[in-house]
Amino acid sequence: MEHILRPIYQERASQSDTLGVILVTKREETMSVTDTFDAVLLIVVKAADMPIYTKHYLYEDKKMAMHVITEELLNKRLNIGLDRRIIDWIFHGKVMFDRNEYLSNLRLKLQEFPFLGRKLKTAIQFSKLIRRYLEGKEFFNRGNYFDSYHHVVDSLHHLARLAVIENGLYPEVTVWSQVKKLEPSIYKLYEELIMSNESLEKRLELLFLAIEFLINSRTHDGAQHILETMLSKDSWTTQELHNHHELKYYSKDLEVFVEYLIDKGYIIVESKLSKSGLVKHRHYKVDKDFATSEYVK
């Protein structure tokens, strides 16, 4: 397979903006990692007109894919965790070209999983968890148990990823295999949801109690990234929070996350006069009584 694709990746490697090339071959036990393709070329470039460009190839009975991705989009996907296949490709793929040890340094960075990186990834997963839990509870209270079940499954997935991150690892494609070893209590909740003989209503009721407890026990760590960020200035508007270069990674869930932290007492709402004088602007600041020395830089 490598010799078939060599002319393609060598042409790319000769271009000055190419940072690295990784070849991933299909493994029978994890065919989905390559989307069932026999081989995948991941090519990282410094910049491009399109953040990601994909092309498919055919050779006899073999099918192959090439993905050209910009460094900026790759970093975003690694931070947000949108595409766990890429993590697998970076860790397990064969490096075919590595300009100035870009890929080697990236692998090392992923393996070391810096503390600041963990804070951001924890905040991303925690904010998603909050939204899914609250929406699921709302469906449950209205008697929409199937919709609630869907949100509880998602909540457990975010809890699973949080558990992996807390242990200093990246959530991989096989996240539940990781969680079974690292946090068996969360794995047990997942088993109870899908395998219990209790009625769906009873299963959901018990799971919401357990998830609420786990959320409360993780709020301090889950809020650390946003609170440290907000301590950099006295007061924030909603748009300023959305525009922040790191908070934008969980912008979709930011407002429900902030409201949750207001409810828990971590964030204070400040009212500011508007030009009309009829309504007031809503600004946000950290309640420093909750911002322990762990949050203060």
Which residues of the chain carry a pLDDT beneath 50? 293-297
CATH architecture of 2-112: 2-Layer Sandwich (3.30)
DSSP three-state, residue 151: helix
Q: For the chain, where are the E strands, in sequence order?
A: 18-25, 39-45, 52-59, 62-70, 94-98, 267-273, 280-286
Query: Which candidate, 4, 87, 82, 10, places its Cα nearest to that of 39?
Result: 4
225-286 fold: Arc Repressor Mutant, subunit A (1.10.10)
Give the integer Cα–Cα distance in Å for 30 and 36: 9
**For the chain, domain boundaries:** 2-112, 115-219, 225-286
Q: What is the pLDDT of residue 212?
A: 97
Which residues lie across from 59 on neighbouring strands? 62
**pLDDT tens track for 16-50:** 999 999 999 987 656 677 888 999 999 999 999 99
Which residues lie across from 76 on neighbouring strands? none
Assess contact for 267 and 97: CB atoms under 8 A. no
CA torsion sign, 180 to 182 to 188 to 194? negative
Q: What is the pLDDT of residue 292?
A: 58
Which pTM was predicted? 0.77
Q: What is the pLDDT of residue 77?
A: 84
Burial (CB < 10 A; 0-12, 13-18, 19+), residue 181, is exposed
Determine the CATH number of domain 115-219.
1.20.120.330
